[in-house]
Amino acid sequence: MNILDKVSVFDLKKAGLINLAVGGINVLIHISVIAGLLPYMWVNGGRTKSYEMACSISASSIVVTLIGMFITLVGAKIIPVKFNRFWGIAFTVLLMAMLPLAFVGVVQQFLGTLFEKCFCSILTIAGFLTSFRIAFEKRWPPKKG
């Protein structure tokens, strides 16, 4: 049994929904920082020097997360998109290329604040595992001829 067989055991749409929930919680955390409900020193490893800088970082994190959530909707086939062979392979390669970045995110959470170590690390691990499942889905039709 190869890795693709093991990964494919978990339902693709469930992985997508979990990944969307993780993204939604991430957006809520950053909105809470912008709204002043969550101390800005609790995120970004506690290295942010000012509230204004934290707002800027949180706003960009929200945009990146929303783009990722859209990619998840397509990748998990929650929004069905028919790919030809070229675009199916290209989309899969894009998703696989993003996996090391997701892993770096997991490591960063363990190097961050107590809030990031205790709460955000669980989210990023769930996000990484579900992203891994979504990335290894075959999205293209078989080769003709």
- pLDDT the model gives residue 9: 78
Tokens read off for 8: 């494919």
Q: Residues 77-115: pLDDT tens digits?
A: 999 998 888 998 899 999 999 999 999 999 999 999 999
What gap in Å lies between CA 33 and CA 26, rounded to an integer?
Answer: 11
For residue 142, the one-letter residue type is: P
Nearest alpha-carbon partner for 17 in 133, 104, 102, 116: 133
Q: Residues 45-57: pLDDT tens digits?
A: 999 999 999 999 9
Q: How many CA atoms lie within 13 A of 128 on its CB side?
A: 17
For the chain, the C-alpha Rg in angstroms (whole number) is 17
Q: How many Å separate Cα 2 from the centre of its chain? A: 24
Tokens read off for 117: 């170590």
At CA 73, angle to CA 72 and CA 76, rounded to 5?
70
